[in-house]
Amino acid sequence: MTYQIGDTRRPFLDIDTYDGSTVVTLAVVSEALGTTTPLAVTGPVVQPGGAGRWTANTFYTITAAARWVERWTATGLGAGAAFFEYEVEGTPPPLGPGQSSAWATVAQYVAIIGGDLPANLPHKLRVATLQLKKHVSFSLYDPAAAATLAALAEACCLQVAYAAANGWESGAPIGQRAVSIGSVNLGAVTSQAGGSGAISPIDPLAWQVLDDAGLISDHIVVDAYPWWV
């Protein structure tokens, strides 16, 4: 899999054989930057089947192109090393046919939400736009009207802030992906499309802004909830 600058990862490592003597460390290497950055890890957390999982305490952000390596080392019982390598594109791919830019700008986010800015904000504004766009795609409205543009921008900014509050590092609900190497299992929590349990993928306030502006497409309501939630 190829990543893009601004994506985030939170690596984990599973070890089948371990005990109290097992010590696990993690370092992230960027070839382009020439840096090796230690990341603190927490574990073990027992997994189904008995393996112990060590997980990085925080996400890290990919800030440069070329090859990155997550380098794990274990000492004590279960001693060994494991590596996960991936490539990072230098620039985001261009917009494809039918794709649109974000409904809001960074300046609008500062004006509407304020506070600390999420990392890779331009990308997250576009992710929010894509998440919300399908819910207005069948509505009839003037896309050039000032009130419409203002509502779209506010909803987009609210959606980004909602994603940040839920810990969705690239703007969408998070899922877990892993690869297996020998007797250990390693991977990362990364961003990907999809649901997240009982948490709605759409910010209720963003939905309300769009609905108040008459922009929400007609939808079926069952037990007072839109069918798609």
What does the pLDDT read at residue 45? 95
What does the pLDDT read at residue 65? 80
CB–CB of 109/125 below 8 Å? Answer: yes
Torsion of CA 94, 156, 202, 122, to 10 degrees: 40
Concatenating the DSSP letter of every residue in 115-164 gives SSPPTTHHHHHHHHHHHHHTTTTT----TT-HHHHHHHHHHHHHHHHHHH
CA distance 3 to 188: 13
CA distance 3 to 15: 26
What does the pLDDT read at residue 219? 46
Considering only 64-78, 92-106, 129-143, 171-185, which range has the smallest mean pLDDT? Answer: 171-185
Across the range 164-192, mean pLDDT stands at 58
Sign of the torsion angle spanned by Cα atoms 210, 214, 218, 224: positive
Across the range 46-67, mean pLDDT stands at 90
The H or E element containing residue 70 is strand 66-75
Across the range 164-190, mean pLDDT stands at 59
Q: Are strands 52-56 and 8-15 parallel, antiparallel or unpaired?
A: antiparallel
- Reported confidence tier of residue 5, pLDDT bands at 50, 70, 90: confident
What does the pLDDT read at residue 229? 38
Structural domains in the chain, sorted by start: 2-91 (2.60.40.1930), 106-169+199-226 (no CATH)
What does the pLDDT read at residue 43? 93
CA distance 122 to 137: 22
What does the pLDDT read at residue 133? 85
Examine the pLDDT at 122 and tell me if it is beyond 90.
no
Considering only 82-96, 159-173, 202-216, which range has the smallest mean pLDDT? Answer: 82-96
Q: Strand, coil or helix: what is 181?
A: strand
For 153, residues 6+ apart whose C-beta sits below 8 A from its C-beta are 103, 104, 105, 108, 112
Examine the pLDDT at 170 and tell me if it is beyond 90.
no
Q: Strand, coil or helix: what is 177?
A: strand
Examine the pLDDT at 16 and tell me if it is beyond 70.
yes
CA distance 189 to 132: 24
